[in-house]
Amino acid sequence: MGTFQAITFDFWNTLYTETEEMMRRRMAVRAERVRQVTAAFGRPVSSEEALAAVEAAAAAHGEMWRERRRTMTSEQVGRKVAAALGRRTPLRLCLQIGEAVSSGVVEVPPNVDPQAAGVLAALAESYRLGVISDTGLGMGASLRRVLERDGILRHFRSQTFSDEVGAAKPSAEAFADACEKLAVHPAAAVHVGDMESTDMAGAKAYGMYAIRIDRNGTADGSAADLVIRELAELPDAVAELERQLP
């Protein structure tokens, strides 16, 4: 009977969830931080201009993620915001804008799954744990701060974020980075996520096992090896997969 050596986790809608209201509040905070940064540089903009610029950057990021399976770096976000404001902006200001936008996810953080801490603590006793996450306007550095704030960063031996590795899921580069950091062969690792087209497709294509978390019960025809409804089911699901290993 085989055993897994590592388990990797998606961040969004797997370890963390959020509401549309939280996303709206976060965008408003990001706009205010952009307004403050540009004002400090002697280039004041209105709250409405700042919000429109952040929304333009978000739209550009979404297009890049959908069409190229890549995500922006903090510098790229800053440049997109500056361009939307219609101004030639020095690199130093672009970097500060990007960092200000990213920090929004720390100021208005998503909700950690209430089962996450207990499940991760239990699994970390037997497996090497990692995070594989695509990033949005909030960069990997900011997501680490969220994980640390909630007391669960310590359980992860590695973190792979798309803005840092230069590729988003389902690209093999994201899964390869995690497996390399965890010193594990793909066939001895299982990835846990919520999205069929990124988490399940990417993990399976790279040779990993995959467990999909489907809180709404809509995962008909999933490519996952197993489907669960909540994180509390994960230890039993991993044990079930291990019983199937050659």
Give the integer Cα–Cα distance in Å for 243 and 58: 43
Give the integer Cα–Cα distance in Å for 244 and 246: 6
User: Dihedral sign, CA of 37, 38, 39, 45?
Assistant: negative
pLDDT at position 217 is 84
Residues 6+ apart with CB under 8 A from 79: 89, 94, 98
- Report whether 150 contacts 113 (CB < 8 A): no
pLDDT tens, the chain, 246 aa long: 468 999 999 999 999 999 999 999 999 999 999 999 999 998 899 999 999 999 999 999 999 999 998 999 999 999 999 999 987 889 999 999 999 999 999 999 999 999 999 999 999 999 999 999 999 999 999 999 999 999 999 999 999 999 999 999 999 999 999 999 999 999 999 999 999 999 999 999 999 999 999 998 876 789 999 999 999 999 999 999 999 887
pLDDT at position 220 is 75
| Helix, strand, coil tally for the chain in percent (to 5) | 55, 15, 35
pLDDT at position 1 is 46
6-17+110-244: CATH architecture: 3-Layer(aba) Sandwich (3.40)
Q: In terms of residues, how long is the chain?
A: 246
Q: Is the peptide bond before 90 cis (omega within 30 degrees of 0)?
A: no
User: Where are the chain's structural domains?
Assistant: 6-17+110-244, 20-107
Give the integer Cα–Cα distance in Å for 73 and 161: 11
User: Count of alpha carbons within 13 Å of 56, Cβ hemisphere only?
Assistant: 16
